[in-house]
């Protein structure tokens, strides 16, 4: 939750309105953007 709040500037309530799968999807989206901007192979947040 902190990851999404930090990068997307969303409040706790906004993040909590998302279901678990939506939060995971947004984490992947943010990580993909960070990876592209930093020009690296490492994701900021990666699920295994």
Low-confidence residues in the chain, pLDDT < 50: none
pLDDT score for 46: 60
The predicted model scores a pTM of 0.71
Distance CA 31, CA 7 (A): 10
Picking from 15, 43, 17, 12, the residue whose alpha carbon sits closest to that of residue 29 is 43
**Token code pair at residue 20:** 């678990």
């Amino acid at each position: 939750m902190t990851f999404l709040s930090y990068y997307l500037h969303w409040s706790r309530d906004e993040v909590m309105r998302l279901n678990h799968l939506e939060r995971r999807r947004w984490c992947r989206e943010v990580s993909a953007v960070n990876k592209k901007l930093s020009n690296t192979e490492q994701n900021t947040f990666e699920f295994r």
